Amino acid sequence: MSLPYLHPYLGLSNGLNTLHAAGAGGAVGGWVELGRTTLGGTADTITVSSLDDKRYYMVLSSIINSGNVTVKQRWNNDSGSNYAYRYSDDGGTDFTGTSQTQNFWYKALGNPSFTVDYTANLAGNEKLNIREVVQQNTAGAGTAPSRRQGVEKWVNTSNAINRIDLINDSTGDYASGSECVVLGWDTADSHTNNFWEELASVNAGASSTSIDTSTFTAKKYLWIQAFIKSTGSSMGSISANFNNDTGTNYANRYSDNGGADGTITSNIALILVDGGNLATNESALINFFIVNNSSNEKLVIGHAVKRNTAGAANAPTRRETAQKWTNTSSQITSFKIVRDSGSGTFDTNSIIKVWGAN
């Protein structure tokens, strides 16, 4: 079985498209790097300009702070009152801003953060953006990271986005190493230099209680997808770890089915699916984005959908997570999903795929 590729706007395609979309040797299409700015010293602005006109953007932003920073964003250097946004922090109440001069990412960051944006960039339409942010929070596994979910629009209907500015208007600075990477997607693309490189693809063995990628090449950004299914009996608790680290070095924040956030700190693993378990023959799809700097805590943005009881009369369940692994001396080079309890095993169609890029 090939794991479906999760495209942010086109939905789930069949497995045939996985190699092309993610950059594992496909001949055409995929996410290509359009521009990148990495700071070599402290600054209050990160600008990525001269961007090619692509129908969709994926933007990866790794902010390393020097003091408190408040991240704002503008497109095409437009400082007019042409932005509107909606966001929620840590699963709380939605806040809105209308007729704004910039988009609002996060306030008073006193520690690193990682952001993934998906942008619809058709010149003749208002530009729509979906944003996910994970903020490290206080260092160490005893404190869960924070998260923000936001949506935004830029009302310009004449031009495609060709420039992105990340602006700090707080008392601190962006530190050296902070960067913004802009990827583009267009169905007419014929390039072969895809940004995402496949690093691992592993199916579960027969009667297995874990799925382990073994060692893969270290990359600064990781995209991990997993399809897991139980067989034989229910599987109690399902979790994951990096580099076979089973110490209390993980902190988790999660929301199930839109409910209030919960946290699990100083934990021995990453939590995965709603309820932490899979019933007999139940399946789940997991999607992670990770910033994987060696000297920083590893920050994870995660989503999971679990089938729930079979049939259209039963809605699936969902989980959103912000997680961290507190290792600050090495990069992630392996990923393992394990059955912590229960007597079921992973169906052989269960699979982990890992893509990465520097």
Say if 191 falls within a structural domain: no
Say if 24 falls within a structural domain: no
The domain boundary, picked from 185, 220, 252, lies at: 185
- CATH (domain of 262): 2.60.120
pLDDT for position 237: 83
Q: Find out whether 200 and 351 touch, Cβ atoms under 8 Å.
A: no
Claim to verify: residue 153 and residue 228 sit in the same structural domain: no
pLDDT for position 37: 98
Give the Cα separation of 217 and 200 in Å (integer): 9
- Span 247-261, mean pLDDT? 96
The domain boundary, picked from 185, 204, 219, lies at: 185
User: Does the pLDDT of residue 132 top 90, yes or no?
Assistant: yes
pLDDT for position 102: 94
pLDDT for position 193: 83
The model's pTM: 0.91
Claim to verify: residue 96 and residue 226 sit in the same structural domain: no
Claim to verify: residue 175 and residue 227 sit in the same structural domain: no
Give the Cα separation of 51 and 228 in Å (integer): 38
* Least confident residue range of 91-95, 162-166, 183-187, 255-259: 183-187
- When pLDDT is cut at 50, 70 and 90, the band that residue 5 belongs to is very low
The domain boundary, picked from 136, 163, 185, lies at: 185
Claim to verify: residue 302 and residue 202 sit in the same structural domain: yes
Say if 15 falls within a structural domain: no
Tokens found for residue 279: 């019933």
pLDDT for position 298: 98
The more confident residue out of 7 and 169 is: 169
Report the alpha-carbon angle 138-243-279, nearest 5. 90
Claim to verify: residue 42 and residue 94 sit in the same structural domain: yes
**Local structure of 274: helix, strand or coil:** helix
Q: How many domains does the chain have?
A: 2
CA 222, distance to chain mean position in Å, is 9
pLDDT for position 287: 98
- Span 111-127, mean pLDDT? 96
Say if 137 falls within a structural domain: yes
Q: Which domain holds residue 84?
A: 32-185
Q: What is the pLDDT of residues 172-192, one digit of tens each?
A: 999 999 999 999 997 777 777
Radius of gyration of the chain (CA): 20
Say if 14 falls within a structural domain: no
Q: Exposed e or buried b for every residue in 46-59, given b needs 16+ CB within 10 A?
A: bebeebeebbbbbb
Give the Cα separation of 61 and 133 in Å (integer): 9
pLDDT for position 108: 66
User: Does the pLDDT of residue 295 top 50, yes or no?
Assistant: yes
User: Does the pLDDT of residue 216 top 70, yes or no?
Assistant: yes
Claim to verify: residue 120 and residue 250 sit in the same structural domain: no
With tokens 């962006």, the residue in question is 174
Tell me which amino acid residue 286 is.
I
- When pLDDT is cut at 50, 70 and 90, the band that residue 81 belongs to is very high
Nearest alpha-carbon partner for 301 in 201, 355, 203, 222? 222
Give the Cα separation of 322 and 253 in Å (integer): 5
Give me the chain's average pLDDT, please: 90
User: Does the pLDDT of residue 342 top 90, yes or no?
Assistant: no
Q: Exposed e or buried b for every residue in 231-242, given b needs 16+ CB within 10 A?
A: beeebbbbbbbb
Claim to verify: residue 173 and residue 200 sit in the same structural domain: no
Claim to verify: residue 181 and residue 39 sit in the same structural domain: yes
Claim to verify: residue 209 and residue 138 sit in the same structural domain: no
Helix H or strand E encompassing 32: strand 32-38
Say if 25 falls within a structural domain: no
User: Does the pLDDT of residue 1 top 50, yes or no?
Assistant: no
- Span 310-331, mean pLDDT? 95
- Span 307-323, mean pLDDT? 93
Question: Can you spell out the DSSP letters for 200-259?
Answer: EEEEPPTTBSEEE-------SEEEEEEEEEEESS-B--EEEEETT--SS-EEEEEEETT-
Q: What is the pLDDT of residues 18-65, one digit of tens each?
A: 333 444 444 456 899 999 999 999 999 999 999 999 999 999 999 999
Claim to verify: residue 177 and residue 235 sit in the same structural domain: no
Q: For a pLDDT cut of 90, what percent of the chain falls above it?
A: 80
Tell me which amino acid residue 265 is.
T
Q: Find out whether 2 and 138 touch, Cβ atoms under 8 Å.
A: no
Say if 308 falls within a structural domain: yes
Claim to verify: residue 203 and residue 179 sit in the same structural domain: no
- Span 5-19, mean pLDDT? 35
Q: For a pLDDT cut of 70, what percent of the chain falls above it?
A: 91
For the chain, the 3-state helix, strand and coil shares in percent, each to the nearest 5, are 5, 50, 45
Claim to verify: residue 264 and residue 115 sit in the same structural domain: no
Tokens found for residue 220: 């600064």
Give the Cα separation of 345 and 340 in Å (integer): 11
Give the Cα separation of 39 and 251 in Å (integer): 28
